[in-house]
Amino acid sequence: MVTTTTDLIVRYAETDAQGVVHHANYLVWFEEARSDFLRQLGLAYSDMERNGFFVVVSEVGVTYRSPAFYEDRISVETTLAKARRRLLEFTYRIRNREGRLLVEGRTRHIVVGPDKRPVSLPKSLLEQLTTPPA
């Protein structure tokens, strides 16, 4: 399993009137961390899409442990937990600067082609996805 870390700062627009992060923003952070995961491996979603591979979310799970607040510095630990030819599953752990676990989550993705039908990733791409960054 490959794991990367993405650092973010909570923006004002991501919070409610009490300065607490709105629950839906964690999904946005999962997506940002997933994109960064690929960049850290030398890949990009845009390159995959140009090559005819679209990774679409098929399932999401989130467990909220503790709130994040405006201007908190947070880290999103992203792990590729499963990598199969047509399925990718990522797990996430978001912590604040003190190391407190704020959120745990999981996303499942199906790989589809331009026609929106499931396709298999080439073996070389699967290998790149499962090789830790240098």
Catalytic residue among 16, 36, 72, 115: 16
Residue with tokens 């607490």: 20
CA distance 86 to 71: 38
Whether 36 is catalytic is no
Which tokens in the block code for residue 44?
């990009």
The set of catalytic residues is 16
